Chains A and B, each alone.
Chain A
Amino acid sequence: MIPAAFEYHRPSSVKDALKMLQDLPDAKLLAGGHSLLPLMKLRLANPPHLIDLGRIDALRQIRADRNILVIGAMASHWMIESSESVKRHAPLLAETAGKVGDVQVRNAGTIGGSVAHADPAADYPAALLALDAQFVAEGPNGPRVIAVDDFFTGVFSTALDAHEILTEVRLPFQDAGTGSAYLKFAHPASGFAVVGVAAALRMNGGKPARIRIGITGVGPAAYRPKAVEELLVGKPFEARTVAEAANLAADGVDVNEDLFASSEYRAHLTRVFTKRAVMLAGERGGARSE
């Protein structure tokens, strides 16, 4: 399969890329190409111009800035999975990156491409919701910061404007008392998440003092099951209470349905995986398992 013809551009700075994005009609950014090129081969996308971000080294950096972990949009899944800095300061993100696709996909695909593409079954959105991430987007009028709670707006849609470039994902450090886990029920053929649940919780005297959960694969976009979070904060951490809270994990969500999983089955998986992810995060955060 061969994509339709297009013009190829290779800027060496974000500034140049941004200018191209404003000047070239209907141009698309190319990151790892592992969502975009398959769409172009199927002619589901036919951009007349591709702007390759692959040679902008500044976008590939992962660095710690005081107590914020800054991940360049072009950092590959493998870089994130294997980075000592990510493993130390945001272990939940490293764990999640290691569960994306396969070795070859993780070598090529990038976090920026994944979140900009916003596949409803992508893995990162769950972890980024649980970690309270922020996104930095460069546009014609300068940079702006978007909070994760406002970022994923629907099926394949985000708060990014077509003329903006996502440059960074910023994460507050997970502190030592925070336990986290990402559990995924992978589609047996595609490997994408039928259900993926990320949980991060900080224990204080046997009770979760702070908890954030992100769920992907289930609704049109990844979401936080706020009713579950609220039920768990400040309550004794026990398997029974976690299971009761997790029962609300798919409530009020327009649950996806496909050939592999009915919405009823997917909602069931959501409750089970939420319970397991929260329990595991709690154990890792130092709670005794009952």
Chain B
Amino acid sequence: MRTPLKHSITVRVNGAEYRHEVEPRLLLVYYLREVLGLTGTHIGCDTTSCGACTVILNGMAVKACTVLAVQADGAEILTVEGLAKDSQLHPIQEGFWEEHGLQCGFCTPGMMLAAIQILARNPNPTDDEIRHGLDGNLCRCTGYQHIVNSVRYAARKLRETNQEAIPSAGGGR
């Protein structure tokens, strides 16, 4: 078979616009890591199971190992690199820091992006709702309790400071 046509895509990632010619089979996670150099988005399983590759695409948490870069054409994307603003940590980052939500840190970017999806839909979740919302994210280190505490911390902080859980660069409102 002849080499498939490349497609031109335009995306806004963490507020900055990019345009590239990509092969249709390029997965979004490889586009972010290898084309844009944003290696904060991790690849754990590459089989849609672990959630390490979670990013926010047009306001929705998705597993970037199971989305084609061409599907994201025109999208607003938020990765872990876009969470902090002007060296001010996002409340979810602050939560993981204060509540010891990470050990090795491999799952952390995906956990934080899934967490802000939960908080965008439910600003005051119970522990059960947090756990249920993190069903798609695996952590091999923490045993999860500190992650739940971190999300609860972020929920409180977001409410107190009246902030949107998903910053606008991710396509959130």
Q: Which residues of A are in contact with B by a Cβ distance under 8 Å? A: 1-8, 10, 30, 33-34, 37-38, 41, 48, 50, 52, 54, 78, 82, 101-105, 107-108, 191
Contact = CB atoms under 8 A, between A and B. Distances in A.
Nearest to A107: B60
B68 A104 contact: no
Interface string B43-81: 000111001001000001111001110110000000000
B135 A191 contact: yes
B4 A108 contact: no
Contacts of A101: 135-136
A4 B1 CA distance: 11
B63 A108 contact: yes
Contact of A108 (B27, B66, B70, B134): B66
B118 interface: yes
Contacts of B70: 8, 10, 52
B3 to A, nearest CB: 7
Interface of B: 1, 3-5, 7, 23-25, 27, 30, 46-48, 51, 54, 60-63, 66-68, 70-71, 114, 117-118, 121, 133-137
Contact of B61 (A33, A104, A191): A104
Indicate the member of A4, A8, A33, A105 with the most B CB atoms within 10 Å: A8
Contacts of B68: 8, 30, 33, 37
A6 B51 contact: no
A82 B30 CA distance: 31
A7 to B, nearest CB: 5
Contacts of A34: 48, 66
Contacts of B134: 103
Contact of A7 (B5, B48, B67, B137): B5
Given A41-B46, A52-B71, A104-B136, 18 more contacts: A2-B25, A2-B27, A5-B1, A5-B3, A6-B4, A8-B5, A34-B48, A37-B67, A38-B48, A38-B66, A41-B47, A50-B24, A101-B135, A102-B51, A103-B117, A103-B134, A104-B63, A105-B48
A102 B30 CA distance: 22
A260 to B, nearest CB: 16
Nearest 8 CB-CB pairings of A with B: A102-B136, A8-B24, A102-B135, A107-B60, A104-B136, A3-B25, A7-B4, A104-B63
A5 B23 contact: yes
A38 B114 CA distance: 21
Majority secondary structure of chain A interface residues (helix, strand, loop or mixed): mixed
A104 B51 contact: yes
A115 B99 CA distance: 42
A78 B70 CA distance: 22
Contacts of A108: 60, 62-63, 66-67
Contacts of B118: 103
Contacts of A7: 4-5, 24
B133 A103 contact: yes
A81 to B, nearest CB: 10
B48 A6 contact: no
A102 B131 CA distance: 11
A15 to B, nearest CB: 21
A8 B1 CA distance: 14
Contacts of B60: 78, 107-108
Contacts of B7: 8
A123 B169 CA distance: 34
Nearest to A42: B47
Nearest to B56: A107
Given A8-B68, A103-B133, A1 B46 contact: yes
B67 A33 contact: yes
A105 to B, nearest CB: 6
Contacts of A3: 25
A191 B136 CA distance: 10
A8 B66 contact: no
B24 A104 contact: no
7 contacts: A8-B68, A33-B71, A34-B66, A41-B47, A102-B136, A103-B118, A103-B133
